[in-house]
Amino acid sequence: MAVIRTTSRDIDLLARLMRAEAEGEGDLGMLMAGNVMVNRVRVGCLDFADINTVERMVFQSPGGFEATQKGYFYQRARDRDRRLAQRVVNGERTHPAEFSLWFFRPDGPCPEQWFGQWNSGRYKAHCFFNPTSADCPEVYGVF
């Protein structure tokens, strides 16, 4: 069952963004990036109060993703990418990204906190960060 409402165009947008942000980290890395993306649509807290569609999440500015802001969001979605996007829309969650609203690729080790959000772990080059339950309780809700 889907945890967010999507159209086929939304699946393509999500798939393209997952590919642009994490293709070099394989399917698992793309799924983790997708967890963050879907979480941003699911919640109404912090920087994401008005981000209630996939399109708004993909093109959020400021505070959005480098791929759309720096010009490498140009590749089309492949069937493989669409299948991965559909998996995260259907609720598949992968640690350390299952409750994350942010990830980034530092030059060195992951910081313990990033803008007041706690590091939940690293996968290859990306560090993932979760909000506190006080800041964003709905990210930890049942879906």
CA–CA distance, 25 with 9 (Å, rounded to integer): 24
Residues 85-117: pLDDT tens digits?
999 999 999 999 999 999 999 999 999 999 889
Q: What structural domains and CATH numbers belong to the chain?
A: 8-140 (1.10.10.2520)
Per the confidence metrics, is the pTM higher than 0.85? yes
CA–CA distance, 37 with 117 (Å, rounded to integer): 16
Nearest CA-CA partner of 6 in 69, 72, 82, 95 = 82
Q: pLDDT at position 20, please?
A: 96
CA–CA distance, 125 with 77 (Å, rounded to integer): 22
Band (pLDDT 50/70/90 cuts) for residue 143 is low
Please provide the distance, in angstroms rounded to a whole number, between the alpha carbons at the two ends of the chain: 9
Residue 114 CB: number of other CB atoms within 10 A? Answer: 16
